[in-house]
Structure 1
Amino acid sequence: MSDAKQRLADVQAGLNRACRDAARTETPLLVAISKTFDADAIRPLIAAGQRHFGENRVQEAAAKWPEMLGEAATDSGGITLHLVGQLQSNKAAEAVVLFDVIHSVDRPSLVTALGKAQAAAGKHPACYLQVNIGNEAQKGGCALAELPALLAQARDAGLNLVGLMCVPPAAVEPAPYFALLAEHAKRLGLTGLSMGMSRDYETAALLGSTVVRVGSALFGSR
């Protein structure tokens, strides 16, 4: 519990520091990326006050979160679950039911599947369009050139769009990629920016991120 509380305080202090340097009045929302960690590793962070958690896979989240959500149901804040990993279209219905926020909407077929799943479930999770900001073949995300069309389709499908998400190329300076994503979001009239992970969340906060996705800095090495 004490380790979890200290790690959480350290990350929050880093975000506060970055926002002071950028003259920002609001700090980004902190999402603790709990993928591959079991309930025993997650509960100390919940006890320390963390309320937003992110998972990569629908199946893993469905196996471990229902019990913890029940435990936290009496908490004043509750738990908000974020899906940050790639989502298969055939898992859209499960994702809509389980998650409150989906960060990885990246292709027309998934938009269609999510639109149908939302209508069936009567639930509209907040959604981010994932952009392949570094044009990397091995990563998910739509190309920048395809972003306006995907945005139009997502709006037509009734998705609750709140912003853009990206994962910059590894081992390079992330700032230009964060700035580029922020520029495109502004141009498209979107205010949410899901960008920044353990290695670069302070840089993301400096450049306008509204949500950071932090794993190892909160949980330790996987």
Structure 2
Amino acid sequence: MLELMVQMLRLRFSAAVEADAYRAAGTVLGWWKPARPSDRVNESADRIVRIAMDALHVLARQGVANKMLRQSLVSALGQVRVNGIGEAIAKNDPSLGPELSAWLATGKEIGEARSNDAVREMNEQALDEILANLLIAVDSQEAPNTLEMMADEVEILEPIHATTMRSTAGRIRLVAQWANAAATKRRLKLSGERGELVAYDPAIHTIDGQLQISARTRIRVPGVVRELEGRPATIIAKAQVERA
């Protein structure tokens, strides 16, 4: 059925720019859900999207953005497929204006795309800050070690409480493992160690009160930085220091 649609769309430009023409293709792809369509079906779907996006490209070169057609394509055949083909077409046509080029590739206006990028960046920054605080919180093994020592001391008199303490200590260590794994994926790492002597630098340290730059201080709580290959480290959380 999809091959028949390919032939029909190739023969008639008026059909290629008709938004309702692509609903049938979406219905056919839906037959496979939740399974994945065969490679042959996916190839036919790609050809249909290519024909439709070529038609949109022709209209875009005339200054027309057929938003209804593009939205119908996305609804029927998927945003990833449509955006991928649209982006390739836009890149290969430098004569297309930036507004229409961005719309063809993403379906969004330039201002809207930039706004979404800004929101995404803010969300990622907020996530990094949350992970940084969690990484700092689980940095010290003092809490689980103390719980296990207390469990040893009370085990004879309160065996149930001792078991609860050991279980809690194990869960704290498990949370620490999860926090470190999540931080590693975001390229976050601790900066400095508790008790380490450092020269005070307000760019990377915080301290209660005023202190002269380069004064001798001790790290009370380590900081967190994000390190990407080929880029300088980004400070997510400053290390907290105190006078040495």
TM-score relative to the length of structure 2: 0.24
Question: Per residue, is there more strand in 1 or in 2?
Answer: 1
Which is bigger in relative contact order (C-alpha 8 A, separation at least 6)? Answer: 1
Question: Per residue, is there more helix in 1 or in 2?
Answer: 2
